[in-house]
Amino acid sequence: MNDEPKWSPVPGNILTRWAGDIDPCNVLPEYPRPQMRRNSWMNMNGVWDYVIKPIKEDMPSDFQGKILVPYPLESSLSGVKRTLLPDEKLWYRRSFTINDTFKGNRLLLHLGAVDWKAEVWINNIKVGEHTGGYYPFTFEITEFIKDGENEIIVAVWDPTDTYGQERGKQTLKPSGIFYTPVSGIWQAVWIEPVPNNYIKSIKLTPDIDIEELSVEVEVQSEDEDINIEASAYDGDKEINIDRCSIGETLKLKIPAPKLWSPNSPFLYDLKVQLIKNTAVIDEITSYFGMRKFSIGNDNAGIKRLLLNNQSIFQNGVLDQGYWPDGLYTAPTDEALKYDIETAKKLGFNMIRKHIKVEPLRWYYHCDKTGIIVWQDMINGGGAMETLRHLIIPNLVKGASLKDTSHNLFGRQDKSNRDNYKKELKEMIDSLYNAVSIGLWVPFNEAWGQFDASEVSNWVKKYDSTRLVDHASGWYDQGSGDIKSVHIYFRKLYMPKKLNNRAAAITEYGGYSLLEKGHVWREDKEFGYKRFKTKDELKNAYTSLINSQLKPLVPRGVSAAVYTQLTDVETEINGIITYDREVVKIDPEIMKELNTIKL
């Protein structure tokens, strides 16, 4: 008898090569949280039951089909490929049995990301709910678990672009630079056994100037007679060890540290333990990098971005993290890693993660590969308006609008602004330990922008270890660490009104080439400047870099972000096709052009 679950991708659009590597009995088997690892965990990814019902209906008893978690409902890899409408609710269900080795422990249910509002039941008892489509959340489910078979149900409501919440580029009517919506579970689901007193979270802050790593440990415990111990390692060699009480901060000296950089992405290993008397009662393993992101003057007095106190030209590529078969969810971990490694091979030392927060393993691969990340916050608020979002900023160089008028970009509702701030904090909290993240981008091209100076100042205070691009593209409010401009329809130019900030061209290019057989749709395409052959594209890119970008570097441009790494749906201005099969410009040529030194 064949017990393998029934699942296959829904045909109709292109697939990536990795779609064929998916095992529905063992989906995304890699540990989801690389910087806080435990040995025991239970992968809940796989084939679940699902049903879509009107939003007002109660919990269903009948489920209509099968869905592969964690691929979003609208994706081919989910096995469903159906849009969830704002007046509907998506219900998931599966049964599971707790491993005997887990018994006697507390049980934590982790959900990597569910878009947008998630409610969770275990054995028909509601254990909690969460809003926000991009961040991990956890429920303790110990008291709801019984011997033998258990049942989990997850209900999801996702209004996409009809509610004003943070949703990125998702829209119910995909076109141009806005894409297919993503609903439901789209990151890993897993269960983890922990002891009665356990490590809940860690916060790692390197300081290369004093050669020290600060380790803050949040502990779930009512026992005050517990110590925390942290040990740093270079391979098998113990570098240092420190011990403290709950509520204190560990300080690990890292003498003559090996610094992390794109050229040398060295990572130290870390072990954190809870100790009562002499017994280890909980242990997690992690890693960290000794690096410093800052801003300062070069020898010519020009404001520059610094890495480890040295000027570096951050040459980046825009990466939206979409997949033709999985949408927000890469088919496999190898696929997730491919984009990062390819960006590095193309000569880029930075990726701007655009309007999306990735699974934690994506940042792990950036840390390991050695590529700096500029992380965008997800946009929400009102819909894009042609006049304010496209015509004025692209035709009037340096156009300015004050964003303290909250109705300007659809943020007149205080609860909507509060939700943005809640999710901004969630993003920073969940990604704080990522070695590669060097800059936060609270707003992009005025989409849902409000009080950008105030938001920027809050981010700088909340995370003083990274830089901020407060308003990427246009409607600069004079804050943050860089003066950020997007340039698509004119020759590249030196940004003005720097206000003691570094200059950066944070989007440019967008050159497009349609590769037949490797596109989302043959009958529809979008790009900023179109070319018919690879030679035309190569020559245009060469001219753009050599004749326009490089002359601006000695004048003060400290970073640039080319649009973009891959095609996305009908937007075909990627260096790589949407299915990741064709690199449109020879990587060796790209690497030579993109290697820009100060």
**One domain for residues 64 and 97:** yes
Give the span between the Cα atoms of 419 and 294, in whole angstroms. 29
CATH code at 388?
A: 3.20.20.80
**One domain for residues 240 and 382:** no
**One domain for residues 45 and 185:** yes
309-323, 345-359, 381-395: least confident range:
381-395
Give the span between the Cα atoms of 529 and 509, in whole angstroms. 8
CATH code at 124?
A: 2.60.120.260
**One domain for residues 140 and 187:** yes
- Asked, for residue 255, whether it belongs to a domain, the answer is yes
DSSP label of 10: P
- Asked, for residue 1, whether it belongs to a domain, the answer is no
**One domain for residues 223 and 297:** no
590 confidence band (pLDDT: 50, 70, 90):
very high
Contact 119/155 with Cβ under 8 angstroms? Answer: yes
**One domain for residues 264 and 389:** no
Contact 270/285 with Cβ under 8 angstroms? Answer: yes
* 288, pLDDT greater than 70: yes
What is the average pLDDT across 38-63? 96
Number of domains in the chain: 3
7-11, 388-392, 455-459, 498-502: least confident range:
388-392
- Asked, for residue 239, whether it belongs to a domain, the answer is yes
Mind listing the pLDDT tens digit for each residue in 212-230? 999 999 999 988 899 999 9
- 343-356: buried (b, 16+ CB within 10 Å) or exposed (e) per residue? bbebbbbbbbbbbb
- Position 231 scores a pLDDT of 98
**One domain for residues 384 and 262:** no
- Position 346 scores a pLDDT of 98
- Position 396 scores a pLDDT of 80
1 confidence band (pLDDT: 50, 70, 90):
very low
**One domain for residues 183 and 265:** no
* 531, pLDDT greater than 60: yes
**One domain for residues 257 and 333:** no
* 578, pLDDT greater than 90: yes
Q: Which tokens sit at 517?
A: 């057989």
What is the average pLDDT across 390-394? 83
Residue-range definition of the domain harbouring residue 358: 293-594
- Asked, for residue 8, whether it belongs to a domain, the answer is no
Which helix (DSSP H) or strand (DSSP E) does residue 538 occupy? helix 534-543
- Position 3 scores a pLDDT of 63
318 confidence band (pLDDT: 50, 70, 90):
very high
What is the average pLDDT across 237-246? 96
Please say which residue of 171, 194, 217 terminates a domain: 194
Amino acid at 165: Q
* 428, pLDDT greater than 50: yes
* Pairing verdict, β 149-157 and 88-97: antiparallel
* 342, pLDDT greater than 50: yes
CATH code at 251?
A: 2.60.40.10
**One domain for residues 264 and 328:** no
Q: Which of 318, 445, 470 is nearest to 393 (CA)?
A: 445
For the range 306-313, what are the long-range contacts, defined as Cβ-Cβ under 8 Å and sequence gap of 24 or more?
Answer: 307/261, 307/372, 307/438, 308/208, 308/259, 308/261, 309/208, 309/209, 311/558, 311/598, 312/261, 312/349, 312/598, 313/553, 313/558, 313/559, 313/596, 313/597, 313/598
- Asked, for residue 11, whether it belongs to a domain, the answer is no
* Pairing verdict, β 372-376 and 437-441: parallel
- Position 397 scores a pLDDT of 80
Dihedral sign computed on CA atoms, order 444, 459, 321, 169: negative
Greater model confidence, 396 or 462: 462
Please say which residue of 194, 226, 252 terminates a domain: 194
Q: Which of 551, 500, 504 is nearest to 297 (CA)?
A: 500
Please say which residue of 132, 161, 194 terminates a domain: 194
74 confidence band (pLDDT: 50, 70, 90):
very high
- Asked, for residue 537, whether it belongs to a domain, the answer is yes
- Position 391 scores a pLDDT of 83
Count how many residues are written for the chain.
Answer: 598
**One domain for residues 280 and 167:** no
**One domain for residues 240 and 324:** no
- Asked, for residue 428, whether it belongs to a domain, the answer is yes
Mean pLDDT for the chain?
A: 96
What is the average pLDDT across 59-65? 93
- Asked, for residue 5, whether it belongs to a domain, the answer is no
- Position 268 scores a pLDDT of 98
* 4, pLDDT greater than 70: no
388 confidence band (pLDDT: 50, 70, 90):
confident
